[in-house]
């Protein structure tokens, strides 16, 4: 009984995170231009711009983001996985929906 209750509350917490106030997480047609680039511009290029980027990692255009994801450090940093520097540095973690969209984009071959 207790277990069922705590699982239940966990389920609802997740559902709230996933759905927020703007409805279910939409992972259809995830692309660099519509989903990834706006986040890079708002949260990342201030430090990871084209010139003298932090950690030598530039995220200012499609090719540079692709290179960073392919280096194997990008997704772990955005997910705040153990062993990675959490990004955006000094900022808030991406929402579960944003992370889900990133993973979908990655698994779809990172369409531009
Ligand atoms: C305030 C500056 C700043 C912002 C904003 C920032 N970064 Fe970073 N980033 C750094 C610094 C500095 C490092 C070097 C590692 C460290 O000091 O934590 C780094 C390292 C990284 C790394 C390598 C991490 C590792 O563990 O190998 C990745 C990938 C990365 N950043 C991606 C991003 C992404 C994606 C965003 C936006 C969501 C972002 N960064 C926002 C400053 C920043």
Question: Cβ(25)–Cβ(19) under 8 Å?
Answer: yes
Label residue 55 by pLDDT band (50, 70, 90): very high
Q: Give pLDDT, residue 23.
A: 73
CA distances for 42 relative to 8, 13, 63, 93, angstroms:
36, 27, 18, 13
Query: In this predicted model, what pLDDT tens digit does every residue of 82-96 receive, in sequence order?
Result: 999 999 999 999 999
The stretch 37-63 carries a mean pLDDT of 98
Q: 88 C-alpha vs ligand 1 centroid, how far in Å?
A: 6
Q: Give pLDDT, residue 9.
A: 46
Q: Give pLDDT, residue 10.
A: 47
- Cis peptide upstream of residue 88 (ω within 30 degrees of 0): yes
Cα 52 versus chain centre, distance: 23
Label residue 20 by pLDDT band (50, 70, 90): low
Indicate the top mutation candidate among 35, 49, 52, 57 to test ligand 1's pocket, ranked by most ligand atoms within 8 A of CB. 57
Q: Give pLDDT, residue 36.
A: 98
Report the chain's terminal Cα–Cα distance, integer Å. 49
Q: Give pLDDT, residue 71.
A: 95
The stretch 54-79 carries a mean pLDDT of 97
Q: 1 C-alpha vs ligand 1 centroid, how far in Å?
A: 44
Q: Which residues line ligand 1 (CB under 6 A)?
A: 43-44, 46-48, 54-55, 57, 59, 68, 73-74, 77-78, 84-85, 87-91
């Amino acid at each position: 009984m207790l277990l069922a209750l705590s699982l239940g509350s966990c389920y609802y917490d997740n559902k709230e995170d996933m759905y927020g106030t703007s409805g279910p997480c939409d992972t259809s047609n995830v692309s660099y231009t519509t989903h990834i680039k706006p986040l890079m511009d708002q949260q990342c290029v201030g430090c990871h711009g084209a010139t003298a980027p932090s950690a030598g990692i530039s995220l200012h255009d499609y090719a540079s983001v692709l290179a960073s994801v392919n280096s194997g450090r990008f997704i772990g940093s955005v997910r705040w996985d153990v062993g990675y520097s959490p990004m955006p540095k000094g900022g808030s973690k991406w929402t579960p929906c944003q992370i889900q969209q990133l993973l979908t984009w990655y698994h779809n071959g990172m369409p531009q």
